Amino acid sequence: MYIILGATGHIGSVVAQTLLDGSQPVTVVIRNEQKAAQWQQKGASVAVADVNDVDQLRAVFQQGNRLFLLNPPAPPSTDTDRQERQSVHAILAAIDGSGIEKIVAESTYGAQPGDHIGDLGVLYELEEGLARTGIPTSLIRAAYYMSNWDSALATARQEGKVHTLYPPDFVLPMVASQDIGKVGARLLMEPIETTGLQYVEGPERYSSADVARAFGNALGKTVEVVETPREAWKESLQAMGFSPEAAESMAAMTALTLEGPELPLTPIRGRMTLTDYVTALVEKSE
């Protein structure tokens, strides 16, 4: 049995659906019982659990032997680093004594030790914690999610603008959730002893200017990219609903992304281009 933690998100849902399409037994872990029916109709078993309830989560993990793990993002209005570290600790505790034989976990490019650096620090802590379990693990270090640009659709459509913290010509590895999910499903089905670190990104690397052009093409209008200067990052993020702590973490993570990290030479490359992703996003919204 494959246990999918994070099945209601962009990536976990693709992992679960890919396995189901291959007639594999799947249990999806969800927090909202109202979403159970749609997964049951697809042929999945459903477990309703709170990710921070260690005993409840361990009981779910004990129902399977392979686990796809994605640490749930905290609402940006909270202290995201603190909340996400709390869920990491709960998940690791639940794995202990669960009998899980193999894990595939979602991480990120640039994961590194540090406090208040957003996913870079939180997911590095997850990686280190999984290593200490001794359970065979495959880690997916994924590039910048194309879905992070979903919120730009509103301003692109209404104002003809895409706002960004990055310089317009700064080239960034990006990847669609669909491609990550398919890789995750494949890694779950590999032999137990096949493990390691996998970098996953899209077919090309893109800039914020490329994002604006993609929205412009999809909307049939001119869309410009507007850079938020570094000194205004925190203020801008808080105006968008980020807590002061979350704004600090996001600003620090953005700064580290601009400074590096060293990019992999031979990542696994997905098929979905930025143009295709944005076009599908626009069509879905109409």
CB of 10 within 8 A of CB of 182? no
pLDDT digits (tens, 9 = 90+) for 29-70: 998 888 888 899 999 999 999 999 999 999 999 999 999 999
The closest of 142, 130, 138 to 88, measured between CA atoms, is 130
Q: For residue range 105-154, what is the model confidence (pLDDT) as tens digits?
A: 999 999 999 999 999 999 999 999 999 999 999 999 999 999 999 999 99
Report the distance separating Cα 103 and Cα 66, nearest Å: 6
180 pLDDT higher than 90: yes
Break the chain into its structural domains and give their ranges.
2-144+175-201
For residue range 1-11, list pLDDT tens digits in order. Answer: 999 998 888 99
CATH class as words, domain 2-144+175-201: alpha beta
Q: What size, in residues, is the chain?
A: 286
Kindly tell me the burial class for residue 46, based on how many C-beta atoms sit within 10 Å of its own C-beta (0-12, 13-18, 19 or more). Answer: middle
Per-residue pLDDT reduced to its tens digit, 93-109: 999 999 999 999 999 99
End-to-end alpha-carbon separation of the chain, Å? 38
Residue 243 reports pLDDT greater than 90? yes
CA–CA distance, 144 with 113 (Å, rounded to integer): 19
